[in-house]
C-alpha cells in the first residue's frame, strides 16, 4: 500500500479510537483492566493514552501493511508517538501557563494536531532511504512507554502531570465528591 494513503488511514483510525478511549473506562463500569489503556481521569498523563495506544496498535498493524517499504519502521513509529506525546504536553502546559486555565477545544485540538504531527514525523522517517540503525532500541523504548502507562495508571506519581484537575485524584483512585 502507498505510504501516504496508509498514514491517512492511520490518522483517521487513531482519531476515532483515541476519542472512543476517552469514554471506555466509564463505559466499562470503571473496569481497572480497561483503565490500563484508556483514560481513567482528566489528567494530562491519562489523555496521552488516547494517542499512544491507538498509534501503537496501528504500528503493529502496519508491520503487515508497510513495514517492508522501510528499513526504519520501528524508529519511525516510536519517534512519531514520542512527537505526538511531546506536542500535547508542551502545548497544554504552555497555553495553560499563559492563560491560567485549560480550554477544552484547545485540548481536543492538541490531540488532533498531536496525532497528525506524530504521523507526519513517522511518514517522513518511513520515506527516508538511509537506514537509521536503531530498530531494537526503538522497540525497547516503546515497550518501556507502554509499561510506564500501565504502572503509572496503578501507581501514579503525585505530581500535576498525573492529577485529575477536576477531582484532585490520581490514577485509578476513586473520584472525590466533596
How does DSSP assign 88-156, residue by residue?
HHHHHHHHHHHHSS--HHHHHHHHHHHHHHHHHHHHHHHH--S--S-HHHHHHHHHHHHHHHHHHHHS-
Asked if residue 70 has pLDDT above 90, the reply is: no
Question: Could you report the per-residue pLDDT of 112-170, keeping only the tens digit for each?
Answer: 999 999 999 999 999 988 888 899 999 999 999 999 999 999 999 999 999 998 899 99
Mean pLDDT, residues 90-105: 95
The pLDDT value recorded for residue 131 is 85
Please state, as a whole number, how many other Cβ atoms lie within 10 Å of the Cβ of residue 42: 17
- The pLDDT mean for the chain works out to 94
Asked if residue 178 has pLDDT above 60, the reply is: no
Nearest to 39 by CA among 135, 100, 108: 108
Mean pLDDT, residues 32-46: 96
Mean pLDDT, residues 69-77: 91
Reported as a pLDDT band with limits 50, 70 and 90, residue 173 is confident
Reported as a pLDDT band with limits 50, 70 and 90, residue 176 is low
Mean pLDDT, residues 75-92: 98
Reported as a pLDDT band with limits 50, 70 and 90, residue 106 is very high
The pLDDT value recorded for residue 128 is 87
The pLDDT value recorded for residue 1 is 78
Amino acid at each position: 500500500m502507498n505510504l501516504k494513503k496508509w498514514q491517512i488511514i492511520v490518522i483517521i483510525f487513531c482519531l476515532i479510537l483515541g476519542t472512543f478511549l476517552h469514554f471506555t473506562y466509564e463505559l466499562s463500569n470503571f473496569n481497572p483492566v480497561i483503565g490500563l489503556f484508556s483514560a481513567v481521569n482528566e489528567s494530562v498523563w491519562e489523555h496521552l493514552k488516547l494517542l499512544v495506544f491507538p498509534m501503537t496498535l496501528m504500528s503493529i498493524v502496519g508491520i503487515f501493511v508497510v513495514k517492508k517499504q522501510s528499513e526504519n519502521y520501528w524508529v519511525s513509529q516510536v519517534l512519531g508517538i514520542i512527537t505526538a506525546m511531546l506536542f500535547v504536553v508542551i502545548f497544554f502546559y504552555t497555553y495553560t501557563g499563559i492563560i491560567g486555565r485549560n480550554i477544552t477545544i484547545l485540548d481536543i485540538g492538541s490531540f488532533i494536531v498531536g496525532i497528525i504531527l506524530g504521523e507526519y514525523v513517522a511518514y517522513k522517517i518511513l520515506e527516508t532511504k538511509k537506514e537509521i540503525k536503531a530498530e531494537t532500541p526503538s522497540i525497547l523504548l516503546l515497550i518501556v512507554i507502554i509499561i510506564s502507562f500501565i504502572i503509572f495508571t496503578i501507581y501514579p506519581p503525585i505530581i500535576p502531570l498525573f492529577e485529575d484537575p477536576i477531582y484532585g485524584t490520581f490514577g485509578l483512585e476513586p473520584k472525590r465528591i466533596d
